[in-house]
Amino acid sequence: MDAIRLKDKKPVMLKQVYKHNNGFDQELAISQYVSSPDLLKDPDNHCIPIYEVLDIPGDSEYVIIVMPLLHPFNATRFDTIGECLDFFHQIFKGLQFLHKHHIAHRNCTQNNVMMDPSEIYPDGFHPVKYNMSRDLAGPAFQKYTRTQRPPKYYWIDFGLSVQFKESDKFPQAMSIRGGDKSPPEFRDMAQLHTRRNPFPTDIYYLGNLIRIHFTEGRGNDIEGFKFGLSFMKPLVAAMVHEDMSKRPTIDQCVVHLEDIIQAQSTCTLRAQPSPHCDKNTSTYTSTKTTEDTPFKVGTNRTACPPQTVKDMSDALHVELAGGIVSMGSTYHNKIFKSSVADRCIEDFISRTPYYDQGRWHTIPKKPNDEKALYTPFIELLGHILAYFKYNGRGRKLVDTHNIDIPHKDLNRHGSADDSSRCRTSPDFMILGSGANLNTEENNNEIRASYALCASPGEIKTERNQKDMMNTDQVAVYARQCFIEQHHRRFVYSIILTEKKARLFLFDRSGAIQSQRFNIHEQPGNFVRIVLGFCSTNNQKIGFDTNIFWRNNSRYITLHNHWEVKGLGMREYRVAEGSSAIAFSRNTMRGRGTVCWNVVDCDGTPFLIKDSWRSAGREPECKLLAEVAGVAGVGQMVTYQDNGQDDVAQFRDVPNCDLTESLSHNRIFSRIVLEAYGKPLDYFNNRRHLLFAFRDAVNGHRNLWRDKHILHRDVSINNILHGKEGSVEGSRGVLIDLDMAICLTRQAPLTGTFRTGTRAFQSITVLRSEKNGEHARPHDYLDDLESFFYVFAWICSTYTGPHERLESEPRALVAWQEDVVVAIGMKTAFLYDPTTELTPYFECFSALLTSLGNFLIKHATRKEKECRSKAPKVPLMDLLAPSDAEYDTFLGFVDDAIAALEPEETDPVVKASPSILKPEPITPPHSLQSQDTPFHTPATPRTPGTARKRRTEEVDNSPTAGKKNKFSSGIPESPSVGQNR
């Protein structure tokens, strides 16, 4: 019952409780105990305070307790992830306080967690209808958010609670079910009234509360604010474990939670909880340097393209965060200054019937909606293009506002993936044709598609013009142009309203946007932007003109910057059809890596790699030149990289502007590489896999020991099978030195979660953000751990050659979760890496166990060094002892090869060259996992010794062509591709 306390007019709640402790109902005693003056001073006390106890005249059995007026914890919206974490921390600490004082709550459910909203609602609220004012005259006035006035959360209702004596070492009480009936220990009705320890059940209740309301939901009880908290899932999974003896204590839960909170960046804490937080984003950011490339999970969802445009828009919003530069009022005029002479524009404005009395008179002044603007703008733009004779010169204006244009996303090997359901409708498109656009498309009648889109545009009303939302919308269009036009360097877009216009330029550093300007007051600028936006010069509109079609074949030319005698030109023919692209990264902002399958004039196959490196990073071509001739490492043929072909050049702004705007200048590089086999997971049998894996590890050793280079991005895409007929040492090849560094580099060498591919990063690297300046440097052992994860991923997801599970086991998908989740799951996996093995790879159980024991020892050592703040050892000092570690690691692999050889006696099968069309299989997914690392370490196994190896041809798998018996009943899994 609610009431007003007369002495201070304070709203309170009254509750009738038993006056005496009858052994079963201890509510009054416990309430008074936790409200004692000394305990009220404890900041961890989150039990509802008792103001006073009132006797009921003539009633010896009951009393009334007076408490503050509170309302449910979720009656007010959670606006940020930080607010959610503050709630978790307070209720965890509150339950820890109770358990510390030997009190089991026994009903830790939704209705018994309340908050004091008095500062958020200073005018009060109704005690029953919380969203209404106290007098029910209207809605309650929420003046502040939880962030502005952080509330205190309370545990209430101790009617089922029990307090034990400190001397009770094995506390037990008669089981009783609270409001949550789902604990596993209560499912057997015959055992319902058994005496048992109630504290693990409290842990279940608390974990289930978070699971229902924040991480998963149940039926119709799914809250809109729960998204973005997937990092809580391993902890929650442990708290709701079926076996109550395996649930963590509240002290363990608090430590784990505080680790999670400490790992979050300020950006994450301030982020609004939304679906894209779980699906597409990394919840960590870090200060950017020129030496280390920023890591950001964005739109590179190669395995499973975004299923909705909203998903893609949300992901792009995160991907572009900090990378959108707003330019001055004259930028839109400056960037297209040379497109057409001022005099020609002035003549047009004076002659056109569309401009009169200071405005474009066909554009409605006050349109009711966007539809009223489509036709007038299309006619005006068409009139401008016709006057300047752009029509028929490789450009065509198309009204696309009512055309659903499909998104053709690519899998990780660049093959078309039709699984994307995304379709978008820019309000208009400028379509292109000519040598730099797809001749297959041009052979047909030109139709609206992103493959032929030169520039997309959008039309809004001033009323619905919302800067960030509209920016995200045109960013979706621009990204799709990059995906379907692999030689696109930048993309223009424009947003028009009945009054104003804004120009965008999207590139590998992010985007720049002009200030919105009045198209009626500045008609000349408007015409100039339209002409620049529709330019008939393919280079000026963002195409790489060194990639072109001739006689129905596509070619790539480059300047040879490696040979001493000058800048000779080389020309390569691109493979036909879907075999053209060996790899393509589907992000817009970042390295933008595209690998082309090509042949030279003699028909010799090569691979051309285009990418945009961060300014300040050592060029990959320089490192590749140093590793010429190193066995087990990809070899370079030639390159084009003069350090001057950068984003700043076509943005036409000084580098200082890029730095001040927090953007990230990038430099283009084109490298010609030897062509090797397919990635490691394209194995023909187990021995084929082991041979390639072993030689790639040895190639890493050669890099480290002989060339003093650390790779730092060991992943499934960067380990290839060797060329057909390769000898020992070259059966597997480590490629991609984008992230590699020389050991003599001075700064910074600390491991960072931003460098590498999340799914395969070591535990030490993942911990780098939390450990800060005391984090251990990324060294060769971290890369060996990455090799282990690559191998384990294959063994846990493939049921035989070319036969793959439809979705990865939970323990593995969590490797691409946020940092805290990945750390926990990888730690648990190193202790027990065999639980997810498919039957085909059970023979590698001993190998994985040995490698796991070897690696966890080093991961544990590094963490102890970090916690003790031990001095960091220079990487060069690790060269001498590394030989023994490589011998141990490779020794385990050699043992497995020796044990496997007798059973692999099938006919020889030659490896397929990479120029052939690869099969569209998927990389590791990024899903939420409910597993958690509360495990006991396995007993270490004595390292093996290296054996003499036999060089043999590859065999067929005995299971090749058989049906995948694991494929049925496995749910589809969304995926977020990682760093390439």
3-state secondary structure 268-305: HHHCCCCHHHHHCCCCCCCCCCCCCCCCCCCCCCCCCC
Angle at 133 between CA 129 and CA 135, to 5 degrees: 95
Range of lowest pLDDT (188-197, 387-396, 548-557, 568-577) = 188-197
pLDDT > 70 in the chain, percent: 80
Average pLDDT over residues 374-381: 97
Q: Tell whether 366 and 460 lie within a shared domain.
A: yes
Range of lowest pLDDT (81-95, 289-303, 367-381) = 289-303
pLDDT of residue 633: 97
pLDDT tens track for 623-643: 999 999 999 999 999 999 888
- Show the 3-state SS of 462-505: CCCCCHHHHHHHHHHHHHHHHHHCCCECCEEEEEECCCEEEEEE
Beta bridge partners of 116: 152
pLDDT tens track for 673-689: 999 999 999 999 999 99
CB 830 within 8 Å of CB 710: no
Q: Tell whether 232 and 149 lie within a shared domain.
A: yes
Q: Is the peptide bond between 920 and the residue preceding it cis, with omega within 30 degrees of 0?
A: no
pLDDT of residue 219: 35
pLDDT of residue 959: 35
pLDDT of residue 301: 42
- Residue 450: pLDDT band with limits 50, 70, 90: very high
Average pLDDT over residues 382-387: 95
Angle at 914 between CA 912 and CA 917, to 5 degrees: 85
In angstroms, the CA 910 to CA 887 distance is: 29
The answer to whether the Cα torsion of 27, 33, 37, 42 is positive or negative is: negative
- Which of 67-76, 119-128, 644-653 has maximum average pLDDT? 67-76
The gap between the terminal CA atoms of the chain, to the nearest Å, is 61
Whether the pLDDT of residue 933 is over 80: the answer is no
- Residue 908: pLDDT band with limits 50, 70, 90: very low
Q: Tell whether 326 and 272 lie within a shared domain.
A: no
From the number of C-beta atoms within 10 Å of its C-beta (0-12, 13-18, 19+), residue 466 rates as exposed
pLDDT of residue 267: 65
- Kindly state whether residue 193 falls inside one of the protein's structural domains: yes
Q: Tell whether 339 and 241 lie within a shared domain.
A: no
If one compares 479 and 269, the residue with the highest pLDDT of the two is 479
pLDDT of residue 548: 95
If one compares 952 and 860, the residue with the highest pLDDT of the two is 860
Beta bridge partners of 53: 65
Residue 494 belongs to what domain range? 319-540
Nearest to 273 by CA among 322, 220, 219, 314: 314
CB 284 within 8 Å of CB 769: yes
- Kindly state whether residue 895 falls inside one of the protein's structural domains: yes
- Kindly state whether residue 861 falls inside one of the protein's structural domains: yes
Domain stop point among 540, 565, 580? 540
pLDDT of residue 722: 96
Beta-strand pair 569-574/113-116: unpaired
Whether the pLDDT of residue 972 is over 70: the answer is no
pLDDT of residue 169: 83
Angle at 643 between CA 637 and CA 649, to 5 degrees: 130
- Kindly state whether residue 68 falls inside one of the protein's structural domains: yes
- Residue 976: pLDDT band with limits 50, 70, 90: very low
Q: Tell whether 118 and 188 lie within a shared domain.
A: yes
Average pLDDT, the chain: 81
What phi and psi values does residue 613 have, to the nearest 5 degrees? Answer: -90, 155
- Which of 98-102, 748-752, 819-823, 900-904 has maximum average pLDDT? 98-102
Q: Tell whether 342 and 254 lie within a shared domain.
A: no
- Residue 965: pLDDT band with limits 50, 70, 90: very low
This model's pTM is above 0.85: no
- Count structural domains, the chain: 3
- Residue 420: pLDDT band with limits 50, 70, 90: low
pLDDT of residue 652: 72
Domain stop point among 540, 570, 604? 540
- Kindly state whether residue 490 falls inside one of the protein's structural domains: yes
- Kindly state whether residue 631 falls inside one of the protein's structural domains: no
In angstroms, the CA 762 to CA 781 distance is: 9
Between helix 199-210 and helix 250-263 the angle, nearest 10°, is 30
- Kindly state whether residue 576 falls inside one of the protein's structural domains: no
Average pLDDT over residues 467-488: 90
What DSSP string runs through 620-646?
Answer: HHHHHHHTTT-TTB--EEEEE--S--B
Whether the pLDDT of residue 696 is over 80: the answer is yes
CATH code at position 211: 1.10.510.10
Domain stop point among 495, 524, 540? 540
In angstroms, the CA 392 to CA 284 distance is: 49
Q: Tell whether 720 and 868 lie within a shared domain.
A: yes
pLDDT of residue 561: 72
Q: Tell whether 272 and 327 lie within a shared domain.
A: no
Whether the pLDDT of residue 942 is over 70: the answer is no
pLDDT of residue 217: 57
Kindly state the helix (H) or strand (E) to which residue 312 belongs, with its residue range: helix 309-319
pLDDT of residue 660: 42
Whether the pLDDT of residue 260 is over 70: the answer is yes
What DSSP string runs through 558-584?
Answer: EE--SSTT---EEEEEEPSGGGSEEEE
- Residue 292: pLDDT band with limits 50, 70, 90: very low
Whether the pLDDT of residue 203 is over 70: the answer is yes
pLDDT of residue 653: 59
Q: Tell whether 781 and 858 lie within a shared domain.
A: yes
Q: Tell whether 326 and 210 lie within a shared domain.
A: no
- Residue 427: pLDDT band with limits 50, 70, 90: very high
Q: Kindly report each contact of residues 36-43 with a partner whose C-beta sits within 8 Å and lies 24 or more positions away, as own/partner.
A: 39/101, 42/97
- Kindly state whether residue 119 falls inside one of the protein's structural domains: yes
What DSSP string runs through 164-176?
Answer: --TT-SS--EE--
Tokens, residue 569: 């030109």
Q: Tell whether 129 and 6 lie within a shared domain.
A: yes
Whether the pLDDT of residue 127 is over 70: the answer is yes
Range of lowest pLDDT (89-93, 570-574, 741-745) = 741-745
Q: Tell whether 798 and 879 lie within a shared domain.
A: yes
